[in-house]
């Protein structure tokens, strides 16, 4: 499937305002709201678009970290991508240049990011040759970030295998813990 001009116009309207009424899109692009609904359903079904809620990192006063890590081999790279894809703090994860991982993660504050980066995140894992980290504020664009809010927190272990209740930084109150576990003490997730 290739995106045609109608698909692009529909996507443009949804990107501007995710909750736009189908009738409004219909007015803007010149086809019926039924045709718009069919097109959107088809685009979503085929994996071309995803309509979801993002969170405004600036309003939540979040901190972001960009991590670039060089990995020793392809098998280890694949394993780390799979492992950290489930981390609720990860908002971007990709391989770059064949042997590196680029990741962006979010934290409630600098102390949390320092704890996560130094204790349980990507750069602390076996097979990571070297890494670099940049910490900053939420981006100007995109304003809304794909932060995963988790409902029931029943797990004892994090997606990366760390146990918060055994972590020194968690026990000393320097880290709120992993949002996917029952031990999470933060307010964001």
Q: Which 3 state secondary structure label does DSSP give 11?
A: helix
pLDDT-derived band at 65, boundaries 50, 70, 90: very high
pLDDT in tens, 127-152: 999 999 999 999 999 999 999 887 77
pLDDT at residue 189 is higher than 90: no
Q: Average pLDDT for residues 10-33, to the nearest whole number?
A: 92
Q: What local confidence, expressed as pLDDT, does residue 63 receive?
A: 95
pLDDT at residue 43 is higher than 90: yes
pLDDT in tens, 94-117: 999 889 999 999 999 999 999 999
- Assess contact for 115 and 39: CB atoms under 8 A: no
CA–CA gap between residue 78 and residue 68 (Å, rounded): 15
pLDDT at residue 171 is higher than 90: yes
Q: Average pLDDT for residues 72-83, to the nearest whole number?
A: 95
Q: What is the mean pLDDT of the chain?
A: 92
pLDDT-derived band at 179, boundaries 50, 70, 90: very high
Identify which of 164, 144, 166, 145 has the alpha carbon closest to the alpha carbon of residue 153.
164
Which DSSP category does 148 fall into? -
Residue 101 pairs with which residues in a beta bridge?
69, 95
pTM of the model: 0.87
DSSP letter for each residue of 50-106 = -----EETTTTT-EEEEEEEEESSHHHHHHHHHHHHT-TTEEEEEEETTTEEEEEEE
Residue-range domains of the chain with CATH:
5-45 (1.10.10.10), 56-148 (3.30.70.920)
């Amino acid at each position: 499937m290739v995106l045609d001009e109608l698909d692009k116009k529909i996507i443009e309207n949804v990107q501007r305002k995710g909750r736009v009424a189908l009738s409004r899109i219909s007015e803007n692009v010149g086809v019926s709201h039924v045709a718009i609904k069919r097109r959107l359903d088809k685009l979503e079904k085929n994996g071309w678009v995803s309509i979801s809620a993002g969170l405004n990192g600036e309003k939540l006063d979040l901190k972001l970290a960009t991590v670039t890590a060089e990995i020793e081999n392809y098998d280890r790279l694949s394993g780390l991508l799979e492992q950290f894809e489930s981390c609720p703090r990860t908002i971007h994860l990709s391989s770059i240049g064949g042997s590196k991982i680029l990741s962006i993660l979010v934290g409630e504050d600098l102390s949390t990011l320092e704890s996560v980066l130094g204790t349980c995140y990507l750069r602390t894992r076996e097979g990571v040759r070297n890494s670099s980290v940049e910490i900053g504020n939420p981006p100007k664009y995109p304003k809304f970030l794909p932060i995963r809010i988790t409902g029931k927190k029943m797990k004892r272990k994090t997606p990366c295998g760390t146990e918060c209740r055994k972590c020194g930084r968690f026990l000393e109150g320097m880290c709120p813990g992993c949002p996917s576990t029952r031990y999470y003490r933060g307010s964001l997730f």
